[in-house]
Every structure is written in C-alpha cells, then in structure tokens.
Amino acid sequence: MNLNFGMAFPQLYTRDGLLTLDQRFLEELGFVSPELLKQLQQGRQQPDELTPSQEAALLIALGPYVENFIAKLFKIEARVAGLKMAHRERASSFATQAGCPLSEKIPEYHSLKASGHAIAALAMITVDTPMVAASGHRICNHQKQDAVIIPEIETRSFKDVLELPYGPEIHSLLTRWNPLNLRRPPGSLDSLREQCAVA
C-alpha cells in the first residue's frame, strides 16, 4: 500500500525519505497556517532563543497539525477522528503530577491529550522518551517517586496509538521524524544518532 503525499513505506526508513516527508509536512503546514510554519522554521533555527512558555505554546499549536498530517499520510483520518472523540469524553480523568524525569514536557503533553490528540501527545512524549514502550511507570517506581500517574498515562497514549491501523509504524516514525523535536530536525547529525540509538 502506498502512503499519501506521494510517499512509500521504504522512504520512511531512509534519510532522504525523511527529508522528503518533512518537506511535504512543511508544505502542508504552510498552506493551512503560514504563520505557524514561520514560527516552526525560526524555532528549528534557534530553539534556545525561545523561552519555555514560547516553546510550549509553539509545540501545543503544532501538535494537531502533526497529528492530522500523520493521519493523512497513513490514510486513517476516520479512525483518528474516532479516537479523538473518545479521548475528549474521558479527558477529565487525565491528571498532572510533577517529579518524574520522563515528564519534562508534561504540561504540553497533557494539553494535547486532554484535547483528544493522541498521536500528537505521543509525539510530545517521544521528544524526551523515544523508547516510551520500554520505560513508563517502572522507572519512576524504581526511583521511589510519587509521579506514577504520568508515565501510566504516557503508556496509555502509546497503547491507544498502537491500536490504530499502522500504530507500530506511526510510533516508529516518530522516533525518526518528529516535528515537535525542535533540536533534532530531520537530517541533523543528532537526529541520525538518535535513530541509531532507538534502532
């Protein structure tokens, strides 16, 4: 099965393919939100110039566009829309606690999760924790912290995405190409090293 945007599955596993995918994403983003595209490009060029609140706002704004793009890429828009509705219905059950080292972007993650964007929330988790499937609450328990609820919710997001068509492929892609990771844009040396570490 071919993907959308003129992409093919093998391209998702090569540097040139990921660069092409990123260009497709930037084109789509520029079409629907030129201002957000400008902010993303500036953020990639000088991520450390952003204040924490500015970076958080940018990532939260980008999240839904990343999710929509991935849904279109894998042609699963209807399933993602259904998952969004289910998440919104149980949004009140999401809690936020502090203290877990896996949760550096928990406010951003929580905002995306509560608004029903499961793929975007997983993308946010993957920025700091590419191997979320192998981490989760066990690490926080081992360190005897009280923030168990956050990694458990992270694990729930991971499972929710895995249950989508092409769920494993989506998570795998986010470890190699993740527009929410301003400091490791596709094609960068750090991005390639991270891909090797995850592999």
Comparing 9-13, 90-94, 142-146, the range with the smallest average pLDDT is 142-146
Reported as a single tens digit per residue, the pLDDT across 87-100 is 666 655 555 444 44
Total-model pTM: 0.81
Give just the sign of the alpha carbon dihedral 10, 161, 112, 145.
Answer: negative
- pLDDT for 143 equals 45
Q: Give the pLDDT score at 139.
A: 40
What Rg, from alpha-carbon coordinates, does the chain have? Answer: 16
Whole-angstrom Cα distance, residue 155 to residue 14? 28
pLDDT mean over 68-91: 88
Distance CA(196)–CA(176), nearest Å, equals 9
- Long-range contacts of the stretch 75-79 (C-beta < 8 A, 24+): 75/3, 75/4, 76/164, 76/165, 76/166, 79/164, 79/165
Rounded to 10 degrees, what is the CA torsion of 87, 66, 4, 7?
-140
Query: What is residue 104's predicted lDDT score, i.e. its pLDDT?
Result: 58
Which one is predicted more confidently, 109 or 26?
Answer: 26
- What percent of the chain is modeled with pLDDT above 70? 71
Q: Rounded distance, CA 10 to CA 22, Å? A: 15
Q: What is the mean pLDDT of residues 148-157?
A: 58
Q: Give me the pLDDT at residue 140, please.
A: 44
Widest Cα–Cα separation across the chain? 48
Average confidence (pLDDT) over 32-61 = 95
Q: State the chain's mean pLDDT as an integer.
A: 80
